[in-house]
Amino acid sequence: MEQEELLKRVIEVLESLGVAHMIVGSYASGAWGEPRFTYDIDIVIAIGPGDVNRLVSAFPQSDFYVSAEAARAAVASHGQFNLIHPESGHKVDFMIAPATGWGAQQLARRRLLELRPGLRAWVAAPEDVIISKMLYYREGGSEKHLRDITGMLKVSGAGVDREYVSKWATALGVDDVWQAVLARTDG
């Protein structure tokens, strides 16, 4: 199973279960900017404890590995858990949608995009992808996140609400990262 096939399958399952979701991470930054290879697919989902068994059972153990215990722990802690297609090695990181603050706004701001012909999916708004990439950069220092943001601003720059990004960058303590990104793109 190719990565894109896995993404399509996961989206179909989430849609059939009525689970609010959105693609985030490098897949999302590629949708709004310059695509790059990524080892996994990051998807934010809004599920509660009562949804775990339905979600896990939608991915047959004969084809997928997903731990119900890890999913329950992720729901309880607003963390994340994985779905793996062992045959291909492809992986989906499911992140539980936060209930408050900026995290809660992301699902409401998501956008339905056609990623490829025949593949429509909910994707985090470009501003929210930029903010999350700044948070990931702050956490791990990986330059790839800044390159992703720069690519997004090159491709989708006019459509990015910089005031929204600035507001949340300040609130989340990454304003210095935002200013550095702006210096790279506007300088």
Domain 1-124 has CATH 3.30.460.40: yes
Long-range contacts of range 40-43, CB-CB < 8 Å, 24 or more positions apart? 40/90, 40/91, 40/92, 40/93, 41/3, 41/6, 41/7, 41/10, 41/90, 41/91, 41/92, 41/93, 42/92, 42/93, 42/95, 43/10, 43/14, 43/92, 43/93, 43/94, 43/95
Asked if 111 and 120 touch (Cβ cutoff 8 Å), the reply is no
Residue 143: what pLDDT?
85
Residue 185: what pLDDT?
81
Query: Mean pLDDT, consecutive 10-residue segments, the chain of 187 residues?
Result: 91 95 91 80 94 95 95 95 95 91 87 89 95 90 87 86 95 93 80
Distance, in Å, from the CA atom of 158 to the CA atom of 141, rounded to the nearest integer, reads 27
